[in-house]
Structure 1
């Protein structure tokens, strides 16, 4: 079982899987570093800028942790430091490590960076990019998913819930499908192992709300209410 390695450089702590990114450095968590080496393959724009790059035949995703909501307008990317194990990057990387060991379809975390300044820290994470995959939202902008695909989505969410993993932001943008039809779950920032059962239905309802929201904004969005039953059938392990 591979362990997550750790090293300290000045005010920075680096976490890394040495079979993915060896000789990890603070510079690797800067988009400019990869731009200067002409290894950037693309960018995505949301709350912040996500950078895609290639290194030694593999594709990676570099994401800087940023706050949302009203607090994010003031603090942007700063978080209160209450211990390394409580930082967003440490928690996401270790959760993904556990999920990958469980065989769940999630990306591998290659490295993380936590930079502390007194009681404040900033953080970044590098993930392996899921090859030849698109988020399901983008797919539904073009055509509907098959009943089998929806059933698989439901079954994958059930696998995650069976391990008591609470996905903080389970929405249609955070579910992906690759060219072979495999379903993946992404974006595990602020996610954690949670006891109990009641929250699981609430998690599913969050996904349903995201589908209804996208449908209300775009009449051509290829999803209908009755498609939800396909997803539930996969979750419940019942036949269509």
Structure 2
């Protein structure tokens, strides 16, 4: 990935495939809207935009803090160099995982805006076509036994490669009508030793996510025995997906 300085305080880093295509305007929601390229958005901690360029669809996400600190510092971070920014680390991690044939979104580019000792950042990835996260699926229907097993198997594929997901929850697991599955949002993720014991915290976090949403929504198709199906898929040792 080549770091391109576009003005005094901004740096654009695109993967090789998109180096000659992406410009700073791709990171400007208002410009995308003026171009009639916004095709949707998702509002959570911040707004994620879905947009289209040359019949290709992308996701634009700005990095924002969570927890108590977000009340005072929403989206700025201490600057220690481009390669140490959260955006650069996530984009590099996505590239590495794709080299390992793990099902993650295709990285496109990132933009760093530096101001004094702090920076703000946004990242663009390819939109995974015709996919939904598990949260929205479970609001509509229950997963089959085999689907729960596939979720567990998916997570194990990543753990066998030493991938630690810092925020594994049901919003970050996608699937489509063909049963293919992906993990997304690797902000603060990292590589550790394959099958390291601290990877088990990913599973605990995912279980808490399911329990939280099942308490929150009367119409939510998850029950405690489903976790056993997921763990059965996780514990399988066939290795057919590695």
If the length of structure 2 is used for normalisation, what is the TM-score?
0.93
SS at match of 2:11: strand
SS at match of 1:77: coil
Q: Distance in 1 between matches of 2:19 and 2:166?
A: 27
Task: Structure 2: state its 5+ residue gaps.
Answer: none
Alignment of 1:68-217 (within 5 A): 68-195=66-193, 197-217=196-216
Q: Distance in 2 between matches of 1:91 and 1:65?
A: 12
Q: Distance in 2 between matches of 1:59 and 1:125?
A: 14
Q: CA deviation at 1:99?
A: 0.5
Deviates more, 1:95-104 or 1:218-227: 218-227
Task: Structure 1: state its 5+ residue gaps.
Answer: none
Q: CA deviation at 1:19?
A: 2.2
Displaced runs of 4+ in structure 1, greater than 4 A?
none
Q: Distance in 1 between matches of 2:213 and 2:22?
A: 39
> Residue by residue, what CA displacement relative to the aligned partner does 1:18-68 show, whole Å, maximum 9, x if unpaired?
424633222211111111110110010001110000011111000111111
**Matched residues, number:** 236
Q: Give the match for residue 27 of structure 2.
A: 29
Q: Distance in 2 between matches of 1:143 and 1:41?
A: 26
Q: CA deviation at 1:148?
A: 1.1
> Residue by residue, what CA displacement relative to the aligned partner does 1:107-159 show, whole Å, maximum 9, x if unpaired?
01100011112211000000100000000010000110111111111111011
SS at match of 2:171: helix
Q: CA deviation at 1:90?
A: 0.2
Q: Distance in 2 between matches of 1:107 and 1:169?
A: 16
Q: CA deviation at 1:187?
A: 0.7
The answer to whether the 8 Å contact 1:66/1:77 transfers is yes
Q: Distance in 2 between matches of 1:22 and 1:193?
A: 30
SS at match of 1:105: coil
Q: CA deviation at 1:169?
A: 0.4
SS at match of 2:72: helix
Pick closer, same or farther for the CA change 1:180–1:22 going to 2, 3 Å.
farther
Q: CA deviation at 1:69?
A: 1.7
Deviates more, 1:126-135 or 1:176-185: 176-185
> Residue by residue, what CA displacement relative to the aligned partner does 1:187-224 show, whole Å, maximum 9, x if unpaired?
11111112372212221011111111111112321011
